[in-house]
Structure 1
Amino acid sequence: MLEEWIREKSKEGGANSWLRSKPVQYLVLILVCLGLLALIWPTGSEQKLAERPGTGLESLDPTQGSKQISQEVASILAKIEGAGKVDVSITLASSGQKSYATNIRHDARESKESNGQGSKSSLEESNTQDIAVSSGNPLLIEEKTPEILGVLVVADGARWPVLREKIANATATLLNVPAYKVQVMPREGGI
């Protein structure tokens, strides 16, 4: 009895006949494509990589690093009693470096050819280097700070030798440089 009912429904087209019509099939195909597109579409909350260095090393901008360090040191030195307004200029020998983790694959293929007189062999090798990524960002292994060649500090209160020495010692301590690389000068028309 069940078999007869199934045969009858399949002859009439039954419940699935609407799925066999071309417009419905096209509509289902379009909906599936839109669903897949929504799954792979990037969202706005992901961070974009500013630069993807090919060697795993990225150099910092020397002028921007120097300016930022100078501003931080000047704001700290200005808090020394009697220093007054302070300007700092830093000369960098290098800009610093960031080292990223890399995945290196070595593929070696060897092919041998021989003829009647002797054997001939050739070796092909292929290396692939990719930057290791963690959470969508390159994996930073090491960051080298810029090397400082010298520091010039111009301060209102640098007219007095005791204060000049305090400013020089504070600058050398902040930047972890020897005192001979720090020069403190009084500001023109200062206190």
Structure 2
Amino acid sequence: MEWMKKISSDKMLVGLVSLAAVGMAFIYLGKGPIAPPQSEQTQSAVTTVASPTTKIGVLEKELESKLQTNILMMEGVGKVQVSVNFLTGLKSEYVRNNNVTKRTNKETDKTGGTRETTEITENHQVVMPNGASQPVIAMEDRPEIGGVLVIAEGARDPKVREGIHTAVQTLLNIESARITVVPMGGV
């Protein structure tokens, strides 16, 4: 009878170990697939998307820099941070070669009736210089400015804040409601 106790305790031990292994497997599998760490190549691709590589992004950065340079020269302003946002993109009008052809046909049938038809063909081709990949631009319109944010140390003073506001409004020729000037704070 002792051997039966030994066998049953061995079976119980094997059962407990098996149960623990199955439990651990469920815990591990329950976490779902583990995402592999991002490679350096993926991280740099994400960073490049945020940089201003588009024409609009470059224009925004250029305008911010020009505004910041002008505002920094004003008395009492201190440190300045400028952000500009465009509502629209660049608008370009291209030179076109416009051809209009008008052709009229008069037909008379056996009973004496006449029928007149007019066919008009219009062709408005964009002019491309020989060997060029870009068409000839007749006019290029600036994008519409959506808003300007100026953060300046000296903006706590109402006179400095008003001066910055007026300068931005004058330089960009935009309505007052699209300009916000706030004092710099924090770190």
TM-score, normalised to structure 2, is 0.55
Q: Deviations over 1:27-56 (max 9, x none)?
A: xxxxxxxxxxxxxxxxxxxxxxxxxxxxxx
Given candidates 164, 173, 178, the residue that maps to 1:176 is 173
Partner of 1:145: 142
Q: Deviations over 1:63-96 (max 9, x none)?
A: 4433332232123223334423322223434334
Partner of 1:115: 109
CA radius of gyration, larger in? 2
Cα distance in 1 for residues equivalent to 2:177 and 2:105:
63
Q: Deviations over 1:103-154 (max 9, x none)?
A: 2111122233332232233222211112345685644333332333432211
Letter in 2 for 1:119: T
The equivalences for 1:10-29 within 5 A come to: none
Q: Give the % identical residues.
A: 31
Letter in 2 for 1:187: M
Given candidates 151, 154, 159, the residue that maps to 1:157 is 154
Cα distance in 2 for residues equivalent to 1:106 and 1:180:
47
Where structure 1 has 5 or more consecutive residues not aligned to the other structure, the ranges are 1-59
Where structure 2 has 5 or more consecutive residues not aligned to the other structure, the ranges are 1-53
Letter in 2 for 1:164: R
Q: Secondary structure at the match of 1:66?
A: helix
TM-score, normalised to structure 1, is 0.54
Letter in 2 for 1:69: L
Q: How many residues are paired up?
A: 131
Is the 8 Å Cα contact of residues 65 and 95 (structure 1) preserved in structure 2?
Answer: no
Partner of 2:77: 83
Cα distance in 1 for residues equivalent to 2:96 and 2:178:
37
